[in-house]
Structure 1
């Protein structure tokens, strides 16, 4: 760009007026996109009553330097990011006119001490990546449909043709999904899962679930079995599996999938199924969990719920011994065992 063009561009920018602070940021961010750099909000000034902003400073993302203590720190919990701040002086300062309420350009510096990003790569700079409201709604719907995050990103790329037209990166997608999940569970994750189970039961009368709480109302056990599990129960045979995971989450709850099958074409209906499962639970799950106490009662509660549902969804009864396998079909239920 020639000197005359630069001077003309400078004159046009310093004469700009904005309705509010956000308009000023959008203008400077679009300008930065065309030039090949990223911007961020840095300094603001408030009125005497600290009720409204009267000045805002936007700077190049390379402004300033990384704190010296961060550079010299020897023990780091995370891998340090690349140093991107190099003391760039480029900035746009806007202030509010107290008479008109309009925002005007108070200072503008367009001198950078670093190379500009290539035009086809500018879309990946931080201030130019954004997930629109329509994209957010679509991502949520795809998640509800059971599509995984990396597959959602592939769908977006295919829709827009190329990565630079999507408007965000895979990391932005993962961050949005995490924030959306946190907002969904903000009212209480236990309450959320119970509401979800209740809604599933309303949509599918064959859906089964029971939960258990302690004296303080805290969720300590949850057992569920959907219609697909019941169909699988009628189809396969001859293994009993207990796969326990001990305290792998923030709640110190063990997730135990129960899978039981048998090839003898009968279903016990005299209560000994409960004893069989309890015996296997205590022999196979309890030693692995090694809880402080209270696991027997919880296992008995689980088994009562489990065997009751099995007897409900199966027809037929035939005598069997304790040494034989439980049933003719596969059962797949999942139980959260509290081991506090």
Structure 2
């Protein structure tokens, strides 16, 4: 459990002017429907086989842009790296409908939740690049465009999961608006208005809620020890009988924490012969195997 206060890097700052600039860039990306003079939906294997990209990220960015225009979700598939250099040598992306769900997930008799909808239908669409040392580039070695399912319409592409992402500037704006008690749903509508419509925001309202929640969890996990001590310090000002002691480890992180308030003191006065221990035997997210909690604290 870390006792360090959460740093400012979790709270990026983004002004309204920067948001407008980001929105204009998003619009330009959306309106970019061609690659090298050929419409994305008209690209054929012979147009791309042998095409070179400087980095595997550039190849991925191209395929995601292609998939968004055409109207399908992308899933990362085969990846091979060199054991000597650590460089990615082969990378393949497929349609999210490629293959089929594993049998063990389909026929699970111990299922607790309702099964997810089957979405894989052996779609053959793929994009594959290979690193060539002599060219120091990633070369397209396979490109299939045929799909075995219906594709999303142009006005539906912003719903596709692999093309939705909450940017840092949008996260910073939503975080700032929440600090002044503006609801997340209202913040999302404001972003949509500044971006020129919901299709241009780049994510759904649910994505924003999830991102804010995960970001808040990161902040709490890094600063919860400090927050706990600050809380007990504040309680001590109200409760004169509150007693607290803690210790830290070699990395100056909180290791042990003991406290006793007025209620615990009174309980011990009445039931001093009873001491209750509660053990957590499984490892938690701090890597601690057991935590002991005392229900009736000692008086001294």
| TM-score of the two chains, using structure 1 as the length reference | 0.57
Question: Which residue of 1 is the match for residue 30 of structure 2?
Answer: none
Give me the whole-angstrom Cα distance separating, in 1, the residues matched to 2:207 and 2:267: 45
Give me the whole-angstrom Cα distance separating, in 1, the residues matched to 2:194 and 2:217: 28
Measured at CA, do residues 177 and 197 of structure 1 come closer, stay the same or move farther in structure 2, by a change above 3 Å? farther
Residues 251-283 of structure 1 show CA distances to partners (whole Å, capped at 9, x for unaligned) of xxxxxxxxxxxxxxxxxxxxxxxxxxx7xxx7x
Measured at CA, do residues 214 and 129 of structure 1 come closer, stay the same or move farther in structure 2, by a change above 3 Å? same
Give me the whole-angstrom Cα distance separating, in 2, the residues matched to 1:97 and 1:167: 34
Does residue 213 (structure 1) correspond to residue 240 (structure 2)? The answer is no
Does residue 27 (structure 1) correspond to residue 58 (structure 2)? The answer is no
Q: CA RMSD in A?
A: 3.4
Query: Partner of 1:25: helix, strand, or coil?
Result: helix
Map 1:85-164; keep pairs closer than 5 Å.
85-164=120-199
Map 1:1-340; keep pairs closer than 5 Å.
9-49=44-84, 51-192=86-227, 194=229, 213-216=244-247, 217-218=256-257, 220=259, 294=264, 296=266, 339=295
User: Structure 1 stretches of 5 or more lacking a match?
Assistant: 202-207, 223-277, 283-293, 299-337
- Asked which structure has the greater CA Rg, the reply is 1
Give me the whole-angstrom Cα distance separating, in 2, the residues matched to 1:295 and 1:119: 67
Give me the whole-angstrom Cα distance separating, in 1, the residues matched to 2:174 and 2:257: 32
What is the CA-CA distance between 1:102 and the residue it aligns to? 0.9
Give me the whole-angstrom Cα distance separating, in 2, the residues matched to 1:10 and 1:209: 73
Give me the whole-angstrom Cα distance separating, in 2, the residues matched to 1:194 and 1:146: 26
| TM-score of the two chains, using structure 2 as the length reference | 0.63
Structure possessing the higher relative contact order (Cα contacts under 8 Å, 6 or more residues apart): 2
Give me the whole-angstrom Cα distance separating, in 2, the residues matched to 1:57 and 1:75: 34
Q: Does the 8 A contact of 2:246 with 2:258 survive in 1?
A: no
Q: Does the 8 A contact of 1:97 with 1:103 survive in 2?
A: yes
User: Structure 2 stretches of 5 or more lacking a match?
Assistant: 1-37, 248-255, 269-293
Measured at CA, do residues 297 and 121 of structure 1 come closer, stay the same or move farther in structure 2, by a change above 3 Å? same
Give me the whole-angstrom Cα distance separating, in 2, the residues matched to 1:190 and 1:36: 46
Q: Does the 8 A contact of 1:190 with 1:219 survive in 2?
A: no
Give me the whole-angstrom Cα distance separating, in 2, the residues matched to 1:194 and 1:145: 26
State which drifts further: 148-157 or 34-43.
148-157
